[in-house]
Structure 1
């Protein structure tokens, strides 16, 4: 069974709005590129899918836009070519190397996890909350930015039950950000 990893940038006070942290730099984009390349497929909710597509889909011209820094291109290429699964009750079709996930969320994600491969990656806010509540996330990866946002959507707000985690890896960035990777702790019954 391939694991499902939830990855997101967050501020020290738990804000996970994509503009709340420090701007991406060459080091952080290299880290996220490696994370994209580790995943067999990406799992998005509609909002995250549309946001990522508008930012990272390769234009029809075949070249990357002029605003994109050279160090952003490997990430753009990795996410552009990745297989994507989109959970939505409002979309009727998707493209950008994506397929629509319909029906019962738990059953659909369990099926995806049973496919061969090294892992699935999920980002965003709403879908990961539902997946955490269902006990489907095998790994949590938070890149904690050295910022206090003071407002905005917070990490896993509304989680039904507490999830005890065990730290399995950490990486510090020159910016002061820290990538923390956790797995759900085994229950001590």
Structure 2
């Protein structure tokens, strides 16, 4: 089965609001680009899908916006061209190289995981909580920001059961950010 990897920026006090951390720099954008490229497809809930689409979908003109620096282009290209699956009961359709996932979440994600490929990437807040509760996440990547936000949504708030993780990789950035890659410890481990 191809693995489902959850990756998100998180402050030291657990805030996962997308504007709570440090502004992206070249090093962090290279990291996020590589994370996206490890996946055959992206899995988003409606909110994350719409937020990412508004920021990273290539305009109809074909030219990236002037605000985008050259070092952001690889990330923009990676997310724009990636296959996407959107979990939503309120969207009537999904564009931007996307399909809607309907019905039983566990069944739909297990079907995606059973397809051939190198992996799936999930981001966001609400959908990853549901996937974690279902035991479907194979790897967690927390990009820890050296900031105390003091407010905002927190990492996996409301998780029904504790998930024991083992650290498998650590990457320190010049900015003080640390990316921590974990895998769940098997129940018998």
Q: What is the root-mean-square deviation in Å for CA atoms of aligned residues? A: 0.7
Partner of 2:86: 86
Note the residue ranges of structure 2 that are not aligned, 5 or more in a row: none
How many Å separate the matches in 2 of 1:17 and 1:73? 23
Partner of 1:33: 33
Partner of 2:183: 183
Partner of 2:48: 48
Per-residue CA distance 1:75-99 (angstroms, 9 max, x = gap):
0000000000000000010010000
Q: TM-score, normalised by structure 1?
A: 0.99
How many Å separate the matches in 2 of 1:158 and 1:42? 23
Note the residue ranges of structure 1 that are not aligned, 5 or more in a row: none
The offset of 1:188, in angstroms, is: 3.4
Corresponding pairs, count: 189
The offset of 1:186, in angstroms, is: 1.8
SS of the counterpart of 1:78? helix
Partner of 2:24: 24
How many Å separate the matches in 1 of 2:34 and 2:63? 22
Task: List, as ranges, runs of 4+ consecutive aligned residues in structure 1 with deviation greater than 4 Å.
Answer: none
5 Å matches for 1:82-161? 82-161=82-161
How many Å separate the matches in 2 of 1:156 and 1:94? 26
SS of the counterpart of 1:187? coil
SS of the counterpart of 1:143? strand
Q: TM-score, normalised by structure 2?
A: 0.99
